[in-house]
Structure 1
């Protein structure tokens, strides 16, 4: 078997199936990443969504018998919408991060990896593979960095010269000993924009992220959102793009190579009020195909309520009152109470008083108190609490 020729064939074939960049890496232990992960664990900076076993995350031989190489792939995704929708009074909109535009990227990358496996198997029938996208054991970013896809930026994303950091990553461990590619030199230099503008200070320093403070993580939690994050959330429904949009390497980067990644503006930037009363079936039908739906509708609805408060959208008061009165979920009732206080007005105050008299849940009662405090803190409202 001529492995050099096979590698060239694979690179050429990858272009025909919609893989925008491909690299090859040695399957040895990711020592530096292992040290970083143990440090993250020690500092309690992990999100809790990742594989718990750090050894498995950094030692390919623990998850695959006799690995010889790892193939890393990258697909570029759009950073701008071709069709725009406008958020305006009475019709305020939220936003899903760019990594949740179009079809769930896990589905898209698995399709590409499966085709790549089939192609390689047609050339080397005895070859074995293990492919992963995001939820696998290995750290996608560490593999991509070693395979020369890009460098690991201070924003904890892989940054490619061609596509910036707007790329999805996946990898395949194989039994074929491909020649490794050369890792790329770090080009962030003295630039520190992503760290400086992180809304919650989650980027502790270049390359170190406290996931517990990261808005991308916070939007996916299911409980009450801590007060410190509510003011920072803005109109974000899922994810956060700030550390990418400020990156100079992303300036002018916008690629529309893959039809399934094209965003539907009404889904990527949806109206907020209809989200509040959406049924499970309707949510699944409209949003079930995007990656931002994986935690269900509850976090999205909670974030939509916070976004309405961010806009101080008084046209949403009656919808929020309905949530406060009728929603069976304490997190939604309580967040609605807080939002009513933020928006203000006599109807909001009256609803909070009524809810205070009948609500049984302690956490919700606490949120009602928070909502009523906004009226005390705003003497110009001319409303007596």
Structure 2
């Protein structure tokens, strides 16, 4: 390869950031490939079993923290962020209405993986036009990459106590992507942590999955339980899940920095009406064909119909008592798989309990979160 000189590399770096923004990325940063300081944290997290069933987290060993081993020759990582907060998000409204299904905001629109990867590929092609011998490869949750550590080192934001990346001007409602390149571009300055003494995300988590600052036990996390967990959801977490049927946003919703989050201009990330603020019982009525049709191009499809029904059964079990819900659950038993049947039976037991006593109020934590949103302490776009 014929290397560019320092002045040419600086100019190229500035062009890369301009091209990235033209492609729809709100921010572009560059870092080197030395992530050694994160290896001990990653190893400890894996050894404690916090990855749960996500065995792929350990399959590549420390390669996750060594970009040059993942893609030999890599000298720099270009980190990008793309905002996804949709307009009219209705966080509080949906969380408060236990008859409705709460779906994590990122999953209401088109699957971000393909969109970001395609844009990163275009960015790589533009760089290659300037460096004919450039080798590059885009990543969007598709390989063992420590994306938050890279984003922090590239100046995108700092890693919050909930383990997500936070930006001072944009909160945390954004996707991350990476472009590995084999040219020695000038690097950006890492971002200083700005969480201070705030522990809002730790205390608001319904299942107390953030076991200590910056450490999440995935096995307790509602996002993990509703998306990654393949078998039965442990019974001790089912009532805590509430009406969250795909993912959970509580730790982001309560974060003070998300007052500054920006609404996305990407139409693909705007909510699909067939998914947003829908009644649990209506979604539970979908057959597999309807599920596949209505989740086409959506990240929700990856969990499959069986786990979708499992999650909805838990949500229905946590809903206010309703004879219609009870009748619907009972009617579904005969056709349900063993996995779904277990959760339907649990849900029916919950309704039996509710029928024999006055329904309790929403959980203290959910009430606090909704009040924060309604008072404007947290942005409800």
Verify same fold: TM over 0.5. Answer: yes
Instruction: Please name the residue that 2:280 is paired with.
Output: 272
CA distance in 2, matches of 1:131, 1:87: 35
- Give unmatched runs, 5+ long, in structure 1: 345-373
Report the CA distance between 1:273 and its aligned residue.
1.8
With a CA cutoff of 8 Å and minimum separation of 6, indicate the structure with the bigger relative contact order.
Answer: 2
Which residue number corresponds to residue 245 of structure 1? 253
- Separation in structure 1 between the aligned mates of residue 267 and residue 64 of structure 2, nearest angstrom: 32
SS at match of 1:67: coil
For residues 240-319 of structure 1, the aligned pairs below 5 Å read: 240-311=248-319, 312-319=321-328
Q: Distance in 2 between matches of 1:87 and 1:151?
A: 29
Which runs of structure 2 are paired with 1:109-124 in the superposition (5 Å)? 109-124=116-131
- Equivalent pairs counted in the alignment come to 349
Distance 1:379 1:201, change over 3 A: closer
Q: Distance in 2 between matches of 1:118 and 1:379?
A: 64
Decide whether the 8 Å contact of 1:100 with 1:268 is kept in 2. Answer: no
2:15 is the counterpart of 1:9: yes
SS state of the match for residue 20, structure 2?
A: helix
Q: For 1:41 and 1:163, how far apart are their aligned partners in 2?
A: 30
- Superposed, which structure 2 residues align to 1:52-131 within 5 Å? 52=58, 53-78=60-85, 80-81=87-88, 92-131=99-138
Shift of 1:153: 0.4
CA distance in 2 between counterparts of 1:86 and 1:195 reads 23
Q: Which structure's CA Rg is the greater one? A: 1
The whole-number CA distance in structure 1 between the counterparts of 2:73 and 2:278 is 48
Whether the 8 Å contact between 1:34 and 1:54 is mirrored in structure 2 is: no
Counterparts of 2:89 and 2:294, CA distance in 1: 20
Kindly indicate whether the alpha-carbon contact (under 8 Å) linking 1:280 and 1:297 is maintained by their aligned counterparts in 2: yes
Q: How does 1:1-385 map to 2 (within 5 A)?
A: 1=4, 2-28=8-34, 30-49=35-54, 50-52=56-58, 53-78=60-85, 80-81=87-88, 92-220=99-227, 221-311=229-319, 312-327=321-336, 329-344=337-352, 374=353, 378=356
TM-score, length of structure 2 as denominator length: 0.86
Cα contact 1:79–1:98 (8 A) shared by 2? yes
Sort the Cα spacing of 1:266 and 1:91 in 2 relative to 1 into closer, same or farther, 3 A.
farther
| Alpha-carbon distance, 1:378 to partner | 4.2
Q: 1:201 and 1:91, CA in 2 relative to 1: closer, same or farther beyond 3 A? A: closer
Q: Cα gap change, 1:57/1:379 in structure 2, threshold over 3 Å: closer, same or farther?
A: closer
Moved more, 218-227 or 239-248: 218-227
TM-score normalised by L of structure 1: 0.85
When structure 1 is superposed on structure 2, of 69-78 and 57-66 the one drifting more is 57-66
